[in-house]
């Protein structure tokens, strides 16, 4: 609050009212006016001006201000002269009062204004603090919204990618299935023909001139090899058929969104699809336990498993081993990808799920694989974790809640 100034209304003493006037000059002027010694006394009897001791034979006149006697003037002059000098002092008091009251009131007003300003300042500070807090909340909300939008974008990006892969796969599958069908059929027929040709062999061998030519042409080997060639080719067409089917299944273009699937089937299918990329780098060992069928977005999970498998393969410095293990326990499905690759450095491991974080060369990876994987698994109500030891390899574990209604 500060110092409380004196009220402008307080009663002023004679000393205060004359304080602004140099005492020596007032003393000299009064002495001249009164023609000799005098005394100016306050109401309480203190000598303010003039000789200190009481004079004998003096005239005593009140000095009034604000309706009251504030003091007395004693002089050796006449009554009229003393009264005139007292009136002069009263006029001086009047001016002194003007000065005191104005300055005291001014002080009061300044003090009041200052206090008002202090109050306003405190209120402003309070509201500023509130606005700062609001702005922080706003920033936090913006950050959350940005996160939501980014996640949605990544999923959209992924979905688009899968949709185009799916369309392509569907087209290719359709185009390939027709020729493969008639190639398979033709090869089967041709193998039948070879078998029928082979039934002629004993007859020809018993016919001397023909037997010589037969033998010369090594027809026995030829027919046997011919059959083997056709059998291999038939196996080849079967493999092509299966790969086309897996590709369709992987992109799941012809599957409903939330479908009940056996994740083991997905894992097998992914191994088939990625065999060409993975087998030069590592052996894949499947260790699949009994799983309940799971209602899920198949294409997303397929993408997760493929990312994990390809990451594992690409982590190999030398030809290594990838073990895919699936288990069902406590109403949860655990799928582990264990590799013998180079592992992940500790300073990097906390960032591998961050968007656009990649350790690969520019153009080799988007840095979105694990981010999207985590998004997909989280959307399914599950989690994805990693353990790694540099030089020994990594273990990625996907945990999904098993559907309760299945």
Residues that bind other proteins (CB under 8 A): 8-9, 66-68, 94, 97-98, 101-102, 105-106, 108-109, 112-113, 116
Residues 6+ apart with CB under 8 A from 345: 390
Give least dist CB 30 to other proteins, A. 22
Per the structure block, which two tokens stand in for 259?
Answer: 């479908």
Per the structure block, which two tokens stand in for 344?
Answer: 């992940």
Give least dist CB 52 to other proteins, A. 27
Give least dist CB 113 to other proteins, A. 5
**Residue 27, φ and ψ in degrees, nearest 5:** -60, -45
Closest CB to other proteins among residues 89, 333: 89
User: What's the CA gap between 155 and 176, in Å, rounded?
Assistant: 31
Per the structure block, which two tokens stand in for 404?
Answer: 């309760």
Closest CB to other proteins among residues 87, 145: 87
Give least dist CB 54 to other proteins, A. 25
Give least dist CB 60 to other proteins, A. 20
What is the β-pairing status of strands 320-329 and 282-288?
A: parallel
Closest CB to other proteins among residues 64, 272: 64
Closest CB to other proteins among residues 37, 90: 90
Closest CB to other proteins among residues 70, 247: 70
User: How big is the chain, counted in residues?
Assistant: 406
Comparing C-alpha atoms, which of 124, 190, 163 is closest to residue 251?
Answer: 163
What is the β-pairing status of strands 332-339 and 320-329?
A: antiparallel
User: What's the CA gap between 90 and 83, in Å, rounded?
Assistant: 10
Give least dist CB 109 to other proteins, A. 4
Residue-wise DSSP of 306-344: HHHHHHHHHT-SSSEEEEEEEEEETTEEEEEEEE-S---
Closest CB to other proteins among residues 63, 309: 63
């Amino acid at each position: 609050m500060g110092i409380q100034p004196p009220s402008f209304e307080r009663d002023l003493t004679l000393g205060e009212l004359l304080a602004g006037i140099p005492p020596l000059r007032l003393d000299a002027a009064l002495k001249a006016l009164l023609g000799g010694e005098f005394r100016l006394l306050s109401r309480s009897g203190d000598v303010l001006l003039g000789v200190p001791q009481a004079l004998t034979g003096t005239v005593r006149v009140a000095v009034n201000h604000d309706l009251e006697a504030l003091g007395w003037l004693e002089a050796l002059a006449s009554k009229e002269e003393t009264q005139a000098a007292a009136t002069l002092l009263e006029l001086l008091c009047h001016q002194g009062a003007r000065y005191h009251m104005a300055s005291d009131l001014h002080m009061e007003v300044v003090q009041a204004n200052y206090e008002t300003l202090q109050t306003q300042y405190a209120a402003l500070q309070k509201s500023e603090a509130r606005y700062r807090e609001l702005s922080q909340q706003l920033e936090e909300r913006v950050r959350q919204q940005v996160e939501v939008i980014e996640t949605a974008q990544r999923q959209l990006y992924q979905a688009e990618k899968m949709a185009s892969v799916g369309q392509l796969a569907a087209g290719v599958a359709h185009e390939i299935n027709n020729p493969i069908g008639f190639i398979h059929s033709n090869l089967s027929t041709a193998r039948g023909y070879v078998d029928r040709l082979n039934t002629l062999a004993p007859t020809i061998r018993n016919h001397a001139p023909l037997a010589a030519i037969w033998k010369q042409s090594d027809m026995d080997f030829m027919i046997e090899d011919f059959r083997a060639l056709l059998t291999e080719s038939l196996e080849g067409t079967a493999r092509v058929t299966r790969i086309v089917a897996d590709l369709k299944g992987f992109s799941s273009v012809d599957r409903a969104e939330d479908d009940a699937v056996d994740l083991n089937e997905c894992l097998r299918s992914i191994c088939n699809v990625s065999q060409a990329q993975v087998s030069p780098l590592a052996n894949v060992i499947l260790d699949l336990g009994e799983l309940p069928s799971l209602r899920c977005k198949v294409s997303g999970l397929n993408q997760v498993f493929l990312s994990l498998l390809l990451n594992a393969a690409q982590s190999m410095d030398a030809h290594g081993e990838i073990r895919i293990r699936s288990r069902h326990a406590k109403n949860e499905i655990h799928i582990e990808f264990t590799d013998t690759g180079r592992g992940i450095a500790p300073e990097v491991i906390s960032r591998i799920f961050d968007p656009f974080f990649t350790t690969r060369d520019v153009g080799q990876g988007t840095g979105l694989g694990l981010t999207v994987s985590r998004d997909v698994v989280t959307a399914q109500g599950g989690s994805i974790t990693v353990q790694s030891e540099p030089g020994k390899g990594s273990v990625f574990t996907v945990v999904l809640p098993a559907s309760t209604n299945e």
